[in-house]
A and B are shown apart, each in its own frame.
Chain A
Amino acid sequence: MAATNNEVWQSATVVAVTDVAAGIRRIELEPSAPKHAEPGSHIDLTVTINGEQEKRSYSVVESLDGGNTLVISVFKAPVSRGGSVFMHTLKPGDTLRITQPLQNFPLRVGAERYVLLAGGIGITAIANMAAVLRNVKADYTVVYAGRSRAAMAYLTDLQDLHGDRLQIHVDDEGSSLDVSALIGGIDPGTELYMCGPIRLMDAVRRGWTERELALPDLRYETFGNSGWYDPEEFVVRIPRLGIEATVGQGRSMLEALEDADVDMMFDCRKGECGLCEVRILNLDGAVDHRDVFYSERQQHAQEKMCCCVSRAVSSATGSRADSPGRPAVVTIDVS
């Protein structure tokens, strides 16, 4: 199983919507050109936000009957850019444009051991993998962390399917996940697949590096939509081009620069490839690096940023309590 980014667009009909946890809705889609979704795959789809078409990505939770029914699950984000709000308006019978399954998070069959780690809505990427590993009788553990049981989708189904192989950590029950204990217990030869909020993923990445476990055994994907800090409106300036643009809460810096007719280079738009890199000339505030392109050293240096996903925040610490009350300003140059 390998990465596939060949976008084949088709129409899909919503056949069922069900609430499966607080704020999480299960959406079953029947695509017009069905294709089986391998574990770890996602679909891109177009959402309508303020009359504009935008693209969003959602992991395929289940691929039924060879892909004739694809199930996704959408968390209505408290600080949504608008996509999840739109997705929560869908009713059976609605149609939308979706891609055939795309794959950036392939599961390898044949590893000695697996740990699948899901934080909150991250379970959508992990559930399908867990089902396949169970079928092939692999040695695996599913670690599922959430704020409260009510906010954890598919909990009962997963318990029924995976029994003792499922470990649950619930913040409001005092059983929060201890990342260093989790990483400390990993044997070399184990592959860890994770999907969840960036703080969790960063903590795992750091622990993994500190233990000097093999980097290719740590598997994750990023849609770049989760940061260390809440998104704020900020200002971007390009003195050489005489441009000043405001990046709204629901827009990316790359989109804002494109809107301002800056000729931008980019590719992945999810913080992986580094093509949309801009040079930071001056910064009033802090950068919320949401990419996985830069190393920790490079992120601390604050000399460059991947403008497709990363943002500026007004306070130097990122905390709203420390905010000076005016938007951050990042002065950059582009290639």
Chain B
Amino acid sequence: MTVLQSSSSTTNKVLGHPLNAWYVAAWDHEVTRKPMARKIADRPLALYRTEDGKAVALADACWHRLAPLSMGKTVGKDGIQCPYHGIVYNSAGRCASMPAQESINPSATVPSFPVVERHRFVWVWLGDPTQADPGLVPDMHQMDSQDWAGDGETIFAPCNYQLVLDNLMDLTHEEFVHASSIGQEELSESEFVVTHDDRTVTVSRWMLNIDAPPFWLKNMRDKFPGFEGKVDRWQIIRFEAPSTIRIDVGVAKAGTGAPDGDRSQGVNGYVMNTISPETAKSCHYFWAFMRNYCLDSQLITTQLRNGVHGVFGEDEAMLKAQQEAIDANPDYEFYSLNIDAGGMWVRRLIERMLQAEGRLAAAL
């Protein structure tokens, strides 16, 4: 286990990942009876479903000679068979059969990780299993609520997961990275408010009486055909440790009371983001866009998914370039700006989790 050197939040360009946490391993539809391989938090996993449909996460290395179990096949009610010498493990990771002998070696086990299926995702806990409380799965209830419709995708981002969190906690970058869709100059000009507690950080920004950028104008016209005029726009970014960010976004006809809670004259979406570290320099970035209007329109679901896909493609290019620049300039530090307040609180909460796990030396 690596203990990082103590340093302040400003100089940790990238962060290690807590292990005592739920991370999304896969979308629910990705995990089937056919085993699949995925690395989460530096741990190669074999994911599959039992005959009863229960998702299973085992270490992707047979006890015997470490052949990847994900290359094997599911057998029986809940077992998986190593593709190399046929050793079978059950969903708890216990050897159930050794083809070449009449007995089973009692030591033959592979690690089995706690799994919870919730909000259309398969979540896995890679730390101390005695702390794996399902109540700690981040709230992403819009993913499977009848009041919300939408869909998403996975980005394989070639950067440390912390860079994605930084990206989502400060949306002033939209003005520059996403100029043709959701960016506008009011993003950088308007005030924002940051609050936090032990597990969450919230950044709120309201932009009143502005022109809707192209993405939001299209959405308004889906709900209010022929809409013209100014809007009140909001972005309420909520981080939940260690790496889930839901962004309550929308616009409403200007002056109709959205800042006071009446969003009936507007369109509201949730950008759901949950990021699972893969290695120190790569992550699986699971996102979805959920909306609370025109719920039965698959056309709009598809259009929004494709639209956000395009927007996030712009982030992906920037994040990749940023990681490459970090790697290419190891002696350069990060400096921070006021706009980083949300992201800096995220770093602070993650550093505290790492300290609690003994994986980051306490700040001096």
User: CB-CB contacts of B332-364 with A at 8 A, as 1s and 0s?
Assistant: 000000000000000000000000001000000
Which of A110, A135, A215 makes the CB contact (< 8 A) with B104? A215
State whether A216 touches B95 (Cβ < 8 A).
yes
In the complex, chain A residues 60-83 whose Cβ is within 8 Å of any chain B Cβ? 66
Asked if A298 lies at the interface with its beta carbon under 8 angstroms from chain B, I say yes
**CB of B94 within 8 Å of the partner chain:** yes
CA distance A51 to B358 in the complex (A): 40
Within 8 A of B (CB), among A279-316: 292-295, 297-298
Chain A nearest CB from B38 CB (Å) reads 18
Sorted nearest first, the 4 A-B pairs with minimum C-beta distance are: A216-B94, A2-B111, A295-B102, A109-B129
Residues of B97-122 whose CB lies within 8 A of A: 101-112, 114
Are B106 and A110 interface neighbours, CB within 8 A? no
* B-contact bits for A258-278, CB 8 A (1 contact / 0 none): 000000000010001110000
Chain B residues with Cβ below 8 Å from A106 are 109, 111
Q: How far is the CB of A274 from chain B (nearest CB, A)?
A: 7
**Interface readout for A81-119 with B: 1 if CB under 8 Å, 0 if not?**
000000000000000000000001110111100000000
Chain B 117-133 per-residue mask, 1 if CB under 8 angstroms from chain A, else 0: 00000000000011010
Of B96, B108, B110, B129, chain A has the most CB atoms within 10 Å of the CB of B129
Asked if residues A293 and B101 are in contact (CB atoms below 8 Å), the reply is yes
Residues A136 and B106 in contact in the complex (CB < 8 Å), given A109-B114, A215-B96: no
Q: Which stretch, A177-185, A219-227, A229-237, touches the partner chain B? A: A219-227
**Assembled-state Cα–Cα distance A3/B132 (Å):** 20
Q: Mark B133-154, 1 if CB is under 8 A from A, else 0.
A: 0000000000000000000000
Q: Are B93 and A108 in contact (CB under 8 A)?
A: yes
Asked whether, in the complex, the Cβ of A292 is within 8 Å of the Cβ of B102, the reply is no
Q: In the complex, given contacts A104-B106, A214-B90, what are 14 additional A-B residue pairs having Cβ atoms less than 8 angstroms apart?
A: A1-B129, A2-B59, A2-B93, A2-B109, A3-B109, A108-B94, A216-B94, A216-B95, A268-B107, A273-B105, A292-B105, A293-B101, A293-B105, A295-B102
Residues of B within 8 A of A (CB): 59, 63, 90, 92-96, 101-112, 114, 129-130, 132, 358
Task: For A2, give the chain B residue with the smallest CB separation.
Answer: B111
A contacts, CB < 8 Å to B = 1-3, 66, 104-106, 108-111, 132, 135-136, 214-217, 219-222, 268, 272-274, 292-295, 297-298
- Return B49 CB to nearest CB of chain A, in Å: 16
Residues of B within 8 A of A105 (CB): 107
* Nearest CB on A from B55, distance (A): 13
Q: Which among B96, B130, B132 is the interface contact of A132 at CB below 8 angstroms?
A: B130
Closest beta carbon of chain A to B98's beta carbon, Å: 10
Task: Provide the bound-state CA to CA distance between A53 and B90, in Å.
Answer: 40
In the assembled complex, 15 residue pairs joining A and B whose CB atoms fall closer than 8 Å, in A order, are A1-B129, A2-B110, A3-B108, A66-B358, A104-B106, A105-B107, A108-B93, A108-B94, A108-B112, A109-B114, A216-B94, A216-B96, A221-B107, A294-B102, A295-B102
Q: Determine whether the beta carbon of A292 is less than 8 Å from that of B103.
A: yes
Query: How far is the CB of A205 from the nearest CB of chain B, in Å?
Result: 10
Closest Cβ–Cβ distance, residue B27 to chain A (whole Å):
23
Contact of A110 among B94, B102, B114 (CB under 8 A): B114
Question: Which residues of chain B have C-beta atoms less than 8 A from A109's C-beta?
Answer: 114, 129-130, 132
A110 to B94, CA, bound (A): 13
Q: How far is the CA of A100 from the CA of B130 in the complex (A)?
A: 21
Nearest residue, chain B, Cβ from A222: B106
Minimum distance in angstroms from A215 CB to a CB of chain B: 6
CA of A215 to CA of B92 in the docked complex: distance in angstroms? 12
Q: Which residue of B lies closest to A35 (CB)?
A: B1
* Chain B residues, CB < 8 A from A136: 130
Which interface residue of B63, B93, B114 has the most chain A CB atoms within 10 A?
A: B93
Nearest Cβ distance between residue A60 and chain B, in whole angstroms? 16
Q: Output the least CB separation between A291 and chain B (Å).
A: 9
A272 with B106, Cβ < 8 A, contacts A66-B358, A108-B93, A216-B92 known: yes
Verify A294–B130 contact, CB threshold 8 A. no
Known: A1-B129, A2-B59, A135-B130. Is A293-B90 also a contact (CB below 8 A)?
A: no
The residue on A at minimum CB distance from B95 is A216
Check if B92 sits within 8 Å of A111, measured CB to CB.
yes
Query: Bound complex: CA of A294 vs CA of B101, how far in Å?
Result: 8
A297 with B102: in contact, given A108-B93, A111-B92, A136-B130 (CB under 8 Å)?
yes
Chain A residues closer than 8 Å to B95, beta-carbon distance: 216
How far, in Å, is A265 (CB) from chain B's closest CB?
Answer: 16
Contact, CB under 8 Å: B102 / A216: no
Q: Do the beta carbons of B114 and A1 come within 8 Å of each other?
A: no
The answer for the CA separation of A182 and B130 in the assembled complex, in Å, is 27
The distance in angstroms between the C-alpha atoms of A220 and B129, with both chains bound, is 20
Complex Cα gap A272–B104 (Å): 9
Question: B193: shortest Cβ distance to chain A, in Å?
Answer: 40
Residues in B with CB closer than 8 Å to A110 are: 92, 114, 129
Inter-chain contact B102/A219, CB cutoff 8 Å: no
Measured CA separation A49–B266 after assembly (Å)? 83
Chain B nearest CB, measured from A304 CB (Å): 12
CB of B245, distance to nearest CB on chain A (Å): 29
In the complex, the answer to whether B114 meets A295 with C-beta atoms within 8 Å is no
A208 to B109, alpha carbons, bound, how many Å? 19
